[in-house]
């Protein structure tokens, strides 16, 4: 074999290794870091002759530790570390030397054992950053009495601490003195699905979700990935479908906590395999939180009713300057359904992955994902005297959306799109409740659904 051929083979082999990848895969479903998908609200102009007077936000909590069941699975596969290293020494591993060295240096994060689902330092920084950018964009709003500001989390440590981080970023270096509302045991705006029997029985514990997930894990594609991971690691322990996914959990959680967004556990997968594993969460969230059930869209309307009522109250003289709400990916995705966003032409299926799909949890359900609505007061300078009017801008993950153009919806356009939500309620949650074509809980979409094919 010529020296040139040996060199070519070495380069090809090396570039296939995780450590040598010049640009590692960045999308990891609902565990995608916010910085991977966000824009920057400071880069968008306020409409001409306008000034922001009220902001309403709905935010998912930031990066967190995994929950109990995920942590147990991760801890089980973490015990494979020594066997993975030994497989390299025995010559059965397909990993690179540097990847193996990183495995040797790997240490279990003990905080996962005692702080299940808690917000991490990375998550705090994500929410602090959002608050900071709003402070820099709208400094004129950061004054006035405490009752002009409202901050409301759900009753979980990760949302409460996210709220604290947001307020910290918003008020840092100012004289703003605000408090957040004490978390409620029952919150029909930020967590209505917890109190909806129809959702709990027909959606979360329903047949459609269970069938799609079972189909996914038994699909030829997933089985092929499972076999490839087994071969790549070169270990004797036989991996099952659950263990392979726990390896993925190790990859995506640990990489979000690393300064360079890398984890040796990601070496178990190739760049071609990761998108299909990512697709698991799109399927899961589509049927649990999304368009897989009409129930989800109706649950999302409660938060949009709060947005509409907030801006209407401001116009009537009793509104707030800033209202911040802190919830979970379940609620965020239900809101996208209520707004008719990210909807597919046909329902997502476990074995058919469209690489160009609109419903993609990495973009729409990442850590700290959000919707920010800005009410602007404007002057019609061409008239004498100048006439006052309002324009509404709406951003998702600090990016422009077609819900309202960058120049803003007129108040009439905003009302036309959002007044629909004033009828939102939880009557449909009763298992004895029957829909009819005139019922507001049916799948009648508001006019905003003209943008249903919007992609991030």
pLDDT tens-digit readout, 241-271: 999 999 999 999 999 999 888 999 999 999 9
- Residue 85's nearest CA partner among 213, 322, 267 is 267
Q: Which of 61, 285, 325, 328 is catalytic?
A: 61
Residue 358 lies in a domain: yes
* Cβ contact 345:332 at 8 Å: no
Please give the pLDDT value at position 415. Answer: 96
Q: Which two tokens stand for residue 185?
A: 């045991």
Residue 419 lies in a domain: yes
* Cβ contact 368:65 at 8 Å: no
Whether this model's pTM surpasses 0.85: yes
Q: In the structure, what pLDDT confidence band is assigned to residue 3 with cuts at 50, 70 and 90? A: very low
Q: What is the pLDDT of residues 161-199, one digit of tens each?
A: 999 999 999 999 998 989 899 999 999 999 999 999 999
| Proportion of the chain above pLDDT 70, given as a percent | 90
Q: Which residue has the tokens 């990210």?
A: 342
* Cβ contact 370:60 at 8 Å: yes
Residues belonging to the chain: 456
Q: What is the pLDDT of residues 192-245, one digit of tens each?
A: 999 999 999 999 999 999 999 999 999 999 999 999 999 999 999 999 999 999
Residue 178 lies in a domain: yes
- Residue 174's nearest CA partner among 138, 131, 143, 134 is 143
User: Rounded CA gap, 301 and 305, in Å?
Assistant: 6
Strands 322-327, 370-380: pairing kind: unpaired
Q: What are φ and ψ of residue 360, in 5° steps?
A: -135, 110
Q: What are φ and ψ of residue 152, in 5° steps?
A: -140, 115
306 given a catalytic annotation: no
Q: In the structure, what pLDDT confidence band is assigned to residue 448 with cuts at 50, 70 and 90? A: very low
329 given a catalytic annotation: yes
Q: In the structure, what pLDDT confidence band is assigned to residue 65 with cuts at 50, 70 and 90? A: very high
Here the CATH number for the domain that contains residue 175 is 3.40.50.1240
Please give the pLDDT value at position 383. Answer: 56
DSSP 401: B
Mean pLDDT over each residue of the chain, to the nearest integer:
91
Residue 413 lies in a domain: yes
Residue 396 has pLDDT above 90, yes or no: yes
Residue 15 lies in a domain: yes
Residue 453 has pLDDT above 60, yes or no: no
Q: What is the pLDDT of residues 356-378, one digit of tens each?
A: 999 999 999 999 999 999 999 99
User: Rounded CA gap, 286 and 72, in Å?
Assistant: 25
Report the pLDDT averaged over residues 45-57: 96
Please give the pLDDT value at position 313. Answer: 96
Residue 456 lies in a domain: no
Q: What is the pLDDT of residues 290-314, one digit of tens each?
A: 999 999 999 999 999 999 999 999 9
Residue 157 has pLDDT above 50, yes or no: yes
Q: How many domains does the chain have?
A: 1
> 98 is in which domain, residue-wise?
3-451
């Amino acid at each position: 074999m010529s020296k040139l051929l040996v060199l070519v083979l070495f380069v090809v082999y090396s570039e296939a290794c995780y450590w040598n990848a010049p640009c590692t895969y960045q999308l990891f479903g609902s565990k995608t870091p916010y910085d991977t998908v966000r824009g920057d609200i400071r880069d968008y102009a306020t409409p001409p002759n306008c000034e922001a007077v009220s902001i309403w936000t709905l935010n998912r909590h930031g990066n967190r530790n995994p929950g109990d069941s995920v942590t147990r699975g991760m801890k089980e596969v973490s015990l494979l570390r020594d066997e993975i290293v030994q497989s390299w020494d025995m010559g059965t591993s397909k990993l690179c030397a540097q990847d193996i060295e990183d495995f040797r240096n790997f240490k279990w994060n003990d905080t996962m054992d005692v702080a299940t689902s808690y917000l991490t330092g990375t998550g705090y920084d994500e929410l602090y950053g959002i608050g900071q950018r709003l402070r820099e964009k709208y400094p004129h709003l950061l004054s006035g009495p405490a009752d002009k500001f409202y901050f409301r989390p759900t009753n979980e440590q990760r949302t409460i601490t996210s709220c604290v981080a947001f307020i910290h970023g918003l008020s840092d270096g100012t004289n703003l003195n605000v408090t957040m509302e004490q978390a409620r045991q029952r919150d029909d705006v930020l967590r209505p699905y917890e109190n909806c029997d129809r959702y709990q029985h027909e959606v979360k514990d329903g047949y459609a979700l269970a069938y799609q997930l079972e189909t996914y894990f038994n699909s030829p594609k997933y089985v092929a990935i499972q076999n490839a991971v087994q071969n790549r690691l070169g270990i004797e322990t036989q991996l099952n479908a659950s263990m392979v996914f726990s390896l993925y959990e190790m990859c995506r959680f640990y990489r979000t906590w690393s300064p360079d967004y890398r984890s040796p556990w990601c070496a178990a997968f190739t760049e071609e395999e990761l998108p299909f594993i990512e697709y698991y969460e799109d399927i899961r969230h589509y049927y649990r939180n999304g368009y897989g059930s009409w129930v989800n869209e109706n649950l999302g309307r409660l938060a949009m009713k709060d947005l509409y009522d907030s801006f209407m109250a401001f116009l009537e003289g009793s509104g707030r300057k800033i209202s911040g709400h802190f919830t979970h990916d379940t609620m965020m995705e239900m809101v996208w359904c209520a707004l008719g966003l990210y909807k597919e032409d046909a329902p997502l299926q476990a074995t058919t992955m469209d690489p160009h799909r609109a419903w993609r949890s990495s973009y729409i359900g990442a850590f700290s994902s959000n919707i920010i609505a800005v009410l602007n007061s404007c002057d019609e300078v061409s008239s004498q005297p100048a006439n006052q009017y309002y324009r509404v801008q709406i951003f998702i993950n600090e990016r422009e959306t077609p819900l309202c153009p960058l120049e803003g919806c007129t108040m009439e356009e905003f009302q036309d799109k959002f007044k629909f939500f004033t009828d939102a309620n939880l009557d449909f949650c009763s298992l004895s409740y029957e829909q009819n074509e005139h019922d507001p809980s049916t799948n009648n979409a508001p006019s905003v659904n003209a943008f249903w094919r919007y992609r991030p």
